[in-house]
Structure 1
Amino acid sequence: MPPSLTATASSLTLLTKFIREVFPLVDHELDNWHSYATEHGMRELADQALASIQSKKFHCQGGSVYSLYKGVPTRDFVRLVVALQTISDYLDNLCDRAGIADEAAFRQLHLAMTDALDPDRPVSDYYAAYPYKDDGGYLPKLVMTCRQEVAKLPSYHLVKTEILRQAELYSELQTYKHLDSSVREEKMLTWINRHLPGYPELTPWEFAAATGSTLGMFMLSAAAHNPSLTPQAVSQIAAAYFPWINGLHILLDYFIDEAEDRLGGDLNFVFYYTSPEETLARLTYFTEQARTQAHGLPEAAFPQTVVDGLLAMYLSDPKADVAPTRAIRDNLLRAAGLYPRLMYRLCRLLRKKNLL
């Protein structure tokens, strides 16, 4: 079988296993967290916990693809991904849906992200600056679940510094992006410009997009299951994901939400492109960089499939099927090649069957 067909068959096998074996594990973990939130805590916090599980399940599904990385114990890793992603989604709701715009409260809440990934640090009082405080132990339990899982990773000491760096950047983004629109952009640019000199290829808002993804944290955690992991491999993974694969992930997410966010007056990093032509050019650039970087990673077929899967997953969303988004989508798929287009058609079919 020619190499390209071999890669395609391998990726389709991975996708089939992902849907048949991993999705039920994700459902099981989310059901457990749903039950806990239902039975514990004050109504305001429980409602936000339940809403985040119900509306953002696909985030946990997507991140759980890393449970299929070579050598990873799938069930344990799904538990880690679901717990960490549920922290992320729950905090997003607390900052965005509860009518609160307090920088100190948002910063304190997001200590849960770094606490979850550092078993050695003391556990924080996450609600110290937030008006609602009694979640029945929901957020601390999520944090402890993550800490228990990362403590099992034999090479976590090699990835910990980079994972915490990405988690801290993620937390800073979430702290600023949910502030009142009258101060949000200035605060974000002040923060971004402290980091931007290290990333001369990026616009400020592309850097912000790269900080908004949890995929790099998941990939580094998956790699840490390998007891023979090397510092060189960690550096390669870190550079591939931040900013390129992370950035592509979030830019695609904002791209398909563009029309919806304009109507709702919500922040969207794609708004900062000056024309559809610039949007297409920059998304194409991120796609090319992500695919090139993935090609050079250990177990290259896996990250390449992840990048192609990001394109297929997001561009198959019905929100991408409206003008002018549709034209950009079609050009991206045309440039991406045969296999991403095949995955795109498969994702459209899965959406029709309500499997995605």
Structure 2
Amino acid sequence: MSQLFSPISLGPLQLANRIAIAPMCQYSADEGLATDWHMIHLGHLALSGAALLILEATAVVPEGRISPADLGLWSEAHADALAPVVRAIRQYAPIKLAIQLGHAGRKASSAVPWEGGANLAPGAGGWQTVAPSALPHGAGETVPTALDEAGMARIIDGFASAARRSHALGFDAIEIHSAHGYLLHQFLSPLSNRRDDQYGGTLENRMRFPLQVFEAVRAAVPASMVVGVRISAHDWVDGGWDVEQSVAYTQALEKLGCQFMHVSSGGLSPLQQIPAGPGYQIGFAACIKRETSMPVIGVGMITEAVQAEQIVATGQADMVALARAMLFDPRWPWHAAAELGAQVTAPPQYWRSQPRQYKELFGDTRLGQR
């Protein structure tokens, strides 16, 4: 029996298999509002057979967007724009839905990738960014304003308000974005956090603001809604954030009620040296899994069914998340199930699509041959 296609629980959330669709920025919102692209894109992925679909990084305040075209959830208008997408998915797919809430910090105010992705200065299509310390992400970029406690309080309130809207929209889970060099990761890493107050210096101090964000989100939604965190387990830069600190952060989050960890890496510094290759981040997930009782999601160049099966079956991670591989092959879970001798959920409109050699793939005996 395939372990990849065995059920799992994230807290109270029951999942049919161990495959998640990782959040992928689409840079296709209008002033933060979801558009028809989100209906097409997310509706397409919702039919994939994966158990969990995590929406892209969604900004909790306007200045927290990575680009001017990022999705947002800082007002009721933003919730109203996203509601039809959630409603349509609920009508036609059993996939569970999570939303990733985040703030880009000093990496905000950037052009969309297909326009170069460069930092946009205030007055040139961009805005003033904020960060733990007045240190730009790269040479020549806008110097961010170091956040004071009032600014941090506003961001915490933004996370809590977006969490309440997420619950009202009917999402099953929230993933707090604490990875890839964005604001919460900037507080964690000694490379970007040079504060000399209670939010900087020691590991305990650097974790303080991200943990406060988690506490605010957890308190904003009922216990029935799952809350987890995505982290970068390593900066890939000497003297930066590393897996030992990630373990400490994981354990602190678990004490506060965190229900899953989604383990990625990098994104904080242009100096990073990442030895990318198949499953290159899974070792970090395995390290963290050994030190926590929470389910751990592994990610990073997972493209083959046997590879994903081995990751789960050997206990390196409890789940795998796919991103670019899922865009390239939106029916990846179908094909993986066929290869591993498992079954996957598909909408009845597609039941007749399965090849004869995989006649039990969809696990439904009502298939007609007309």
Question: TM over 0.5, yes or no?
Answer: no
More helix, by proportion: 1
Q: Tell me the TM-score normalised to structure 2 length.
A: 0.35
Which structure is higher in RCO with an 8 Å CA cutoff and minimum separation 6?
Answer: 2
* Structure (1/2) with the larger strand percentage: 2
